[in-house]
Structure 1
Amino acid sequence: MTLLVIENYPDAGLAALGRTAARMGHKWKTVRAYAGEELPNEAGTFSGLVTLGGGQNALADKEYPHLPRLCDLIRTFHEADRPVLGICLGCQLIARAFGGRNILSRPIEFGWRHVTPTAEGQADPVVSALGKGGPLFHWHTDTVSLPEDAVHLAESAMTPIQAFRIGRTTYAIQFHFEAASADVREWSENLADEILPHTPDWPEQLDEEAARHADKSDALGEAIARAWLALLRRP
């Protein structure tokens, strides 16, 4: 079976999550919704759904008119008991789809920052891959309130809701576990115009931050990716 991947923004693809999926034998179809490519209406034969990050907010329907339909598609996959994963903006869209509140324009959380699993996260089949926690890459200003019946799985000092689960296999993860250090370097180059206005010294910080955190972050990201991909039906 094939995984459905929704890209919501240029240069915001599967990154290390895709490399791990390929090693595990998974295939996927990518829909570049930000570029006007059509979203499917049904879960069909897809094994699961991944909706990725972006620089817009989760309520930017005028500029990104696919967002309401993407929320519908998230619920469709959830109701079909197909695993769903939302990362960063995707996390915020899952919150929107299930009645959580989107909280916009907070101070930015950027760079490698410590993420700690909650007690529920330590017992969760995916987020328990964090162990006791560690540094993961962040790039967001917006956050969410926890939807009704969601299970709170992880937090950081700046953002209380870093991950949550709805039902058995719908996962919303705010931090960029899919961004290995090589991907962060690529983003830093390709998206410099978006980074430098809020973190002008990032080019000087990057090497030092990567030296301190990249090995641990890359390992944690790989572990989380493998844990979520293991929920999919075998290819």
Structure 2
Amino acid sequence: MAVLVVQHVAEEGPYEIGSALAAAGLGLRVCRVWAGDPLPEDLSGAEALVVLGGPMSGYSDYGFPTRTAELGLLRAALDAQVPVLGVCLGAQLLAVAAGGTARPGTGIQVGWGPVRMGSAAAGDPLFAGVPERLRVLHWHGDTMDLPAEAVALASCDRYPVQAFRVGAAAWGLQFHLEVDAAAVGAFARAFPEDAAAAPDGLCEDAHEESAALAPYRDQVLGRFAALVTGRAGHTSTRTFFTPMAATWEERFAADGPRYAAAVARMGLDEGRTVLDLGCGTGRALPALRAAVGDKGLVLGMDVTPAMLDAAARHGRGDLAALLLADARRLPLSAGAVDGIFSAGLVNHLPEPAPALAEWARVTDAGGALLLFHPSGRAERAARHGRPLDPDDLLAETNLRSALEVAGWRLAHYDDAPQHFLARAVRVG
């Protein structure tokens, strides 16, 4: 896994963005569109998306053959809540992808100058603690209008939109926070006419200006890198499932009776509280609601927002409380539920053992855990062209041991061609 970096010209590289990501243990996959590198069709394998600056226009395809494809990647990242950092041109493209506009400005703004932090910056995950006035490198002539849901973070007199956030994980920076003195020199050599329009001292003062900027630059970029690493498990899951969410229900509509039969094996009583972990579009929620009745409580949790949106469109929000949550860190108190249903989730967890322990924590003594899949292990292995793996967690011996360590007792195991079903009971 690596961070996908879209680079439009040789001189506008990731610079200190790359340093911050590397310090966090993240690799870079640089797509040099200026050199003819093909732009990926999707975000598979990408922990985050960084779109850099360039002399093209965010509002026109003229001289910018990858613009439409880049907007598609940005929209996909926003849909899946993949962390995004857009710089200069990249910020303009992010604004457009989010529903705003990019447009020509009144002239080029080049050189070191201040930006003002808005009130929202104080609570922003990246910009909290940055001084109210910060001197940065400007090098742009276009500007943008933000969509209504964007949060403005920084402005200046010439072009008010200088930094913004869309959602919880996408930031646009009109200025060049990533630069050091070497980067300023590279910019000046590449764009001498622009550099000539800058006030005196653009390059002469670059060491001094970039040194003064460095503590805040490192803070903001370091926080972005930490956010990327902290979301790594979520990101891979969301990039996999988000594109399929809209058609997931239709693709697997025939599985409904199998889900209902699996839920019946839980032995839930009316009035109980049950949790569907990794609920997806909510195929099990009708059966879970029927099992606990009107007086019971059904919770549906998933880490992919698009799946929960699809569940709501199919009316599952009327059957259960739909919650965006990490299956490894549940927002529930100890013993809060009487049973957990989970279909196909364990296979997607990078570390299943801590998750099983977390599920035991929130389940009352004697409560049931039902692990289910509408096809057996052998059928799934054959479908992917591989033999059964003896180290597979869902193999009976492995699963029994993992459950016991986590606080469960395996009560029933059935790995049949037409389904996989394991029922465990909370010990204690």
Q: TM-score, normalised by structure 1?
A: 0.90
Between the aligned partners of 2:37 and 2:214, the Cα distance in structure 1 is 31
- 1:63–1:77 distance in 2 versus 1, CA, 3 Å: same
Report how far residue 186 of structure 1 moved.
2.9
Report how far residue 196 of structure 1 moved.
4.2
Between the aligned partners of 1:37 and 1:211, the Cα distance in structure 2 is 33
Q: Which amino acid aligns with 2:161?
A: I
- 1:66–1:211 distance in 2 versus 1, CA, 3 Å: closer
Between the aligned partners of 1:80 and 1:205, the Cα distance in structure 2 is 39
Cross-structure match for 1:42: 42
- 1:201-234: CA deviations, max 9, x gaps? 75x5532x33653322122222211111111025
**Matches for 1:168-183 after TM superposition, within 5 Å:** 168-183=168-183
**Matches for 1:128-167 after TM superposition, within 5 Å:** 128-167=128-167
Report how far residue 197 of structure 1 moved.
4.8
- 1:63-118: CA deviations, max 9, x gaps? 11110110010011121121011000000001111221212042221111111211
- 1:127-147: CA deviations, max 9, x gaps? 225232310111001110111
Q: Which amino acid aligns with 1:231?
A: L
**Matches for 1:22-61 after TM superposition, within 5 Å:** 22-61=22-61
State whether structure 2 residue 85 is matched by structure 1 residue 85. yes
Cross-structure match for 2:226: 230
State whether structure 2 residue 5 is matched by structure 1 residue 9. no
Q: Give the number of the structure whose residues are more often strand, by fraction.
A: 2
Q: Would you say the 8 A contact 1:137–1:217 is kept in 2?
A: no
Cross-structure match for 2:404: none
Between the aligned partners of 1:29 and 1:211, the Cα distance in structure 2 is 29
Q: Would you say the 8 A contact 1:108–1:139 is kept in 2?
A: yes
Q: Which amino acid aligns with 1:206?
A: C
Q: Would you say the 8 A contact 1:47–1:82 is kept in 2?
A: yes
- Residue correspondences, number: 231
- 1:32–1:205 distance in 2 versus 1, CA, 3 Å: closer
Q: Would you say the 8 A contact 1:102–1:142 is kept in 2?
A: yes
- 1:54–1:192 distance in 2 versus 1, CA, 3 Å: closer
Q: Would you say the 8 A contact 2:48–2:228 is kept in 1?
A: yes
Q: TM-score, normalised by structure 2?
A: 0.51
Between the aligned partners of 1:167 and 1:83, the Cα distance in structure 2 is 10
Between the aligned partners of 2:202 and 2:155, the Cα distance in structure 1 is 24
Q: Which amino acid aligns with 2:213?
A: S
Q: Would you say the 8 A contact 1:15–1:183 is kept in 2?
A: yes
Q: Would you say the 8 A contact 1:16–1:180 is kept in 2?
A: yes
Report how far residue 183 of structure 1 moved.
1.6
State whether structure 2 residue 187 is matched by structure 1 residue 191. no
Between the aligned partners of 1:62 and 1:205, the Cα distance in structure 2 is 30
Give the number of the structure whose alpha-carbon radius of gyration is greater. Answer: 2
- 1:187–1:26 distance in 2 versus 1, CA, 3 Å: same
Cross-structure match for 2:19: 19
Aligned to 2:107, what secondary structure does the other structure show?
A: coil
62-71 or 124-133, which moves further after superposition?
A: 124-133
Q: Which amino acid aligns with 2:214?
A: D
Cross-structure match for 1:206: 203
Between the aligned partners of 2:183 and 2:194, the Cα distance in structure 1 is 14
- Structure 2 gap segments, 5+ residues each: 233-428
Between the aligned partners of 2:59 and 2:35, the Cα distance in structure 1 is 17
Between the aligned partners of 2:130 and 2:109, the Cα distance in structure 1 is 19
Q: Cα RMSD (Å) of the superposition?
A: 1.9
Aligned to 1:142, what secondary structure does the other structure show?
A: strand
- Structure 1 gap segments, 5+ residues each: none
82-91 or 158-167, which moves further after superposition?
A: 158-167
What percent identity do the matched residue pairs reach? 29
Cross-structure match for 2:119: 119
Q: Which amino acid aligns with 2:21?
A: A
Q: Which runs of 4 or more aligned residues in structure 1 lie more than 6 Å from their structure 2 counterparts after TM superposition?
A: none
Between the aligned partners of 1:70 and 1:159, the Cα distance in structure 2 is 24
213-222 or 170-179, which moves further after superposition?
A: 213-222
